[in-house]
Structure 1
Amino acid sequence: MKINQLQVFVTVAEEKSLRAAARCLNLTQPAVTRSVQELESDLGVTLMTRNVQGIELTEFGIALQTRAHQILEDVRRAREELGQIKNDMRGKVTVSTTSTIAMSLLPKALEQFQKTAPDAELTFLEVKFPQAVQHLRDGSLDFVVSHVLPDMLGDDLISMPLFSTDFVVMARAGHPLAKARRLAELADAQWLSTVPSGGFQHSVMEAMFEHAGLPLPRRIIQCSSFAIALGLVTGTDSLVLFSRLLADSIASFGLQQIPLEYTQPPLEMSIIMRRGILLTPVAQRFVECLRAVARDSV
């Protein structure tokens, strides 16, 4: 199993076409086919089949795709680390983060980071936690910054706590329910959730209503992004749960907290990584900047 064979296999799997993969890799189609066949021969399994739609991975191919992507990303990190050891703080850092971090710690952490690594290539993503974990496992992400519930992590992941924060109910200024103090008074309101049922924010909402002995609200609008939720909560009578740190950051948007008698216990915001992974020096430097800003700001 060779690195170039894995690169060809991953490209074919992503493109779902031998011809398209050959174009991407600047190879001939027979060369791509031969590389895949040699990899299958080495492993003793069939990795993909052809049909009218193109290439379809077998169960062996699906299993190898994640591992192969992870290996290729680790090879890239190894090359970058050797350069960074020579005091060349270049390289790529890819991080998935939440709106809470983006609106609070991220600007200061970025400012600190760029003082020592001005030429590093940074990519920030805001993706749902299940997809972020998938990208962690295949090596596409260096680490994730997110709230963590006890059952969210598998044995292959570890978390490094940054700070704790609770969640509060937010509404537009002048909301007709602004004087409510019990959750039961908000049960018939329209709520927003930035994650599907079963996701983190939805779980926090479920826990809050369950503690109050209430069913989940009947009217919950699913929003695919923080920006959509922010637009709706500022322009309608919808309610939303935001972390207190995020709520404080966006107070100038014309929102107000509805201070209920019961509040959720604080939850951990953590840096999440693959267990046993060695971050490159430049990625480790960004982790250090996040932790330093969290200590000073929260």
Structure 2
Amino acid sequence: MTLDDLKVFVMVCEARNLSAVAREMNCSQSAVSQHVRRLEKEVGLTLMERQSRGVAPTEAGRILQRAASDGLTALGEGLRALEELRTGQGGGVVIATGATTIRNFLGAAIKEFCRDYPEVGLEFHTERSSHRCLEALRTGAVDLAWVTITAEAAGTQGVEQRPVISLEWVLAVRAEDPLAGETALAAEDLARTRLIRPPTGTSSGRQVEDYLGAHGLPPRATTTRATDWDTALLLAEMGLGHALIPAVPGLVGQCADNVRLIPVGGIPSLDVGWAARQWSALSPAARQFADTVVRHVAGD
């Protein structure tokens, strides 16, 4: 049993597809299968079973997957800590974020952290969605991911989530708009809007789609999709529609004087926060950065 055998086995368990792992490793499917067969021979049990679409771990395979995932994560963090000890450097923290996260959530915390820990480097990987942030986390490309907290992601193996803030939804309208005088809106009121929705394929977009679909938003309500919350707010400021956005503290602070934000009741709040492969295995620098962000965001 080698370290490579375990790494490949975990990848197969997560992908549920031998050819997908082979493409990622730039090798043959047969080479991937050999890693799994070596493990099965050593433990004397079948670890993978074929299904109609790909493969899946057996009960024995799931036991080994959990143990191997935890072990590989701990080993990786341990090796990084040893490297920091060897070089005398504080190391760095790699974070996956969405397109608007730094401006709207992390800015003040980043300034404070860089001032207090100048020897620690911060590296940000911008992804298009929380799903892609979690994928970067699971593959070990990043230490932390700032994501929308969902029940679906909570069931993802090898990922631990910690909610930080719960955001209500608001509708951004120009001051001269007939809706600007409203103090609160409900789903049926959105039928009177030229709605600018969150981007499709994102956690926030799916949440809004599910809610509006359940309430039968009339088709006469013209809709536009923005690539991110900043863009949605900008389009509303230009008078090109009414932007349905979460009440992100940083985003709210960007509103022009001619824009009003009206609470929209009924839509489930959007929970956002941190995700990590294993909190107990995070480096001290990563934990300190995560805590700094929590203090700034949750305290707003």
Identify unmatched segments of 5+ residues in structure 2: 13-17
- What residue is the counterpart of 1:257 in the other structure? 260
Q: What is the TM-score of this pair, normalised by structure 1?
A: 0.65
Which among 53, 58, 81 is matched to residue 55 of structure 2?
A: 58
- Looking at structure 2, the residues matched to 104 and 131 of structure 1 have their Cα atoms a distance apart, in angstroms, of 19
Q: 1:153 corresponds to which letter in structure 2? A: A
**Equivalences for residues 87-126 of structure 1 within 5 A:** 88-97=89-98, 99=100, 101-115=101-115, 116-120=117-121, 122-126=123-127
Following TM superposition, by how much is the alpha carbon of 1:75 offset from its aligned partner in structure 2, in angstroms? 2.9
- Looking at structure 2, the residues matched to 162 and 179 of structure 1 have their Cα atoms a distance apart, in angstroms, of 32
- What residue is the counterpart of 1:186 in the other structure? 190
Q: For residues 280 and 140 of structure 1, do their structure 2 counterparts lie closer, same or farther at Cα, with a shift above 3 Å needed?
A: same
- Looking at structure 1, the residues matched to 93 and 251 of structure 2 have their Cα atoms a distance apart, in angstroms, of 31
- What residue is the counterpart of 1:83 in the other structure? 83
- Looking at structure 1, the residues matched to 23 and 268 of structure 2 have their Cα atoms a distance apart, in angstroms, of 50
Q: For residues 167 and 205 of structure 1, do their structure 2 counterparts lie closer, same or farther at Cα, with a shift above 3 Å needed?
A: farther
Q: For each residue in 1:80-102, what CA deviation from the matched residue of structure 2 results, as whole angstroms up to 9, or x when unmatched? A: 12334565211442333573x42
- Looking at structure 1, the residues matched to 141 and 42 of structure 2 have their Cα atoms a distance apart, in angstroms, of 26
For residue 89 of structure 2, give the secondary structure of its aligned residue in structure 1: coil
Which among 278, 282, 296 is matched to residue 281 of structure 2?
A: 278
Q: For each residue in 1:96-122, what CA deviation from the matched residue of structure 2 results, as whole angstroms up to 9, or x when unmatched? A: 3573x4223412222233341545352
Following TM superposition, by how much is the alpha carbon of 1:290 offset from its aligned partner in structure 2, in angstroms? 0.9
Q: 1:166 corresponds to which letter in structure 2? A: E
- What residue is the counterpart of 1:200 in the other structure? 204
Q: For each residue in 1:167-186, what CA deviation from the matched residue of structure 2 results, as whole angstroms up to 9, or x when unmatched? A: 21113564454344563443
- Looking at structure 1, the residues matched to 156 and 230 of structure 2 have their Cα atoms a distance apart, in angstroms, of 33
- Between stretches 215-224 and 201-210, larger displacement belongs to 201-210
Identity %: 18
**Equivalences for residues 239-250 of structure 1 within 5 A:** 239-250=243-254
**Equivalences for residues 1-298 of structure 1 within 5 A:** 1-6=1-6, 16-17=22-23, 20-21=26-27, 38-39=38-39, 41-42=41-42, 58-60=55-57, 72-84=72-84, 88-97=89-98, 99=100, 101-115=101-115, 116-120=117-121, 122-137=123-138, 139-148=140-149, 153-154=154-155, 159-172=161-174, 174-175=176-177, 177-181=179-183, 183=185, 184-196=188-200, 199-203=203-207, 215-216=216-217, 218=219, 219-226=222-229, 228-230=231-233, 232-235=235-238, 236-252=240-256, 256-259=259-262, 268-274=271-277, 277-294=280-297, 298=300
Following TM superposition, by how much is the alpha carbon of 1:287 offset from its aligned partner in structure 2, in angstroms? 0.9
Q: 1:16 corresponds to which letter in structure 2? A: A
- What residue is the counterpart of 1:53 in the other structure? none
Q: 1:81 corresponds to which letter in structure 2? A: A
Q: What is the TM-score of this pair, normalised by structure 2?
A: 0.65
